[in-house]
């Protein structure tokens, strides 16, 4: 007959040691999964080259990496999240900005960090647009849907823009137009 008696106070240091060991193991595991600065830079360069192949102001599809699989057979789109947008600009070291559905005066522009973008596809069997597959872990929900945007800012159409003579970057401004 084996007699096992557990006395909490006698084994307190062992319990604390096991608890601290588990926390340290989890911390080391999370640190080992983080990308190095070199890996982040190489990922940014790869994503930038893929997105530069797409023209600025082109319509694209933003697809959730957790739900999107290139070989999916679902034609009803019920298995993955997607959101339509237009490419606005690439900001080195920060990410890619996308124009979302413009309203009357203000145009929402969402920023997706490079770390959240997994890969870019030319198109799939359903959409004849480029597909940017990224993590939808943004803190902002846009129009009641989960979004891939870290932040959403607003830009406005430049009323003084002259098509053909002004450069494209002057087409929009962050200064709200005054009503005259």
For the stretch 102-123, what's the b/e string if a residue is b when 16 or more beta carbons lie within 10 angstroms of its beta carbon?
beeeebbbbbbbbbbbeebbee
- On whether the CB atoms of residues 83 and 147 are closer than 8 A, the answer is yes
Stretch 70-92: mean pLDDT: 70
Residues 87, 96: Cα–Cα separation, whole Å: 8
Structure-model confidence comparison of residues 132 and 166, the more confident one: 132
Structure-model confidence comparison of residues 173 and 103, the more confident one: 173
Residues 33, 29: Cα–Cα separation, whole Å: 6
With a cut of 50, say whether residue 180 has pLDDT above it: no
Stretch 126-143: mean pLDDT: 75
Q: What Cα–Cα distance (Å) separates residue 11 from each residue in 19, 82, 93, 157?
A: 12, 53, 51, 69
Q: What is the pLDDT of residues 116-128, one digit of tens each?
A: 888 888 876 666 7
| Chain length of the chain | 180
Local structure of residue 73 (DSSP, 8 states): -
Q: Evaluate if pTM is beyond 0.95.
A: no
Domain boundaries, the chain: 37-173
Residue 66 burial (CB count, 10 A) = 12
Q: Cα 125–131–135 angle (5° rounding)?
A: 125
Where are the alpha helices (H) located in the chain, listed in sequence order? Answer: 12-33, 37-52
Q: What is the pLDDT of residues 5-55, one digit of tens each?
A: 767 767 788 888 899 999 999 998 888 877 677 888 888 899 889 988 888
- On whether the CB atoms of residues 159 and 177 are closer than 8 A, the answer is yes
């Amino acid at each position: 007959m084996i007699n096992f008696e557990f006395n909490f106070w006698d084994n307190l240091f062992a319990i604390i040691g096991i608890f601290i060991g588990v926390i340290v193991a989890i911390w080391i595991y999370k640190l080992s999964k983080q990308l190095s600065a070199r890996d982040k830079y190489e990922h940014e360069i790869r994503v930038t080259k893929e997105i530069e192949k797409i023209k600025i102001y082109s319509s694209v599809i933003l697809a959730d990496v957790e739900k999107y699989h290139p070989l999916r057979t679902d034609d009803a789109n019920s298995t993955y999240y997607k959101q339509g947008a237009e490419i606005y600009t690439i900001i080195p070291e920060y990410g890619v900005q996308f124009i979302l559905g413009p309203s009357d005066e203000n145009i929402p522009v969402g920023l997706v960090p490079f770390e959240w973008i997994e890969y870019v596809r030319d198109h799939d069997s359903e959409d004849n647009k480029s597909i940017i597959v990224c993590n939808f872990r943004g803190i902002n929900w846009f129009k009641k849907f989960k979004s891939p945007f870290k932040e959403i800012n607003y830009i406005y159409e430049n009323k003084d823009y002259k098509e053909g003579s002004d450069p494209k970057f002057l087409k929009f401004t962050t200064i709200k137009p005054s009503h005259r």
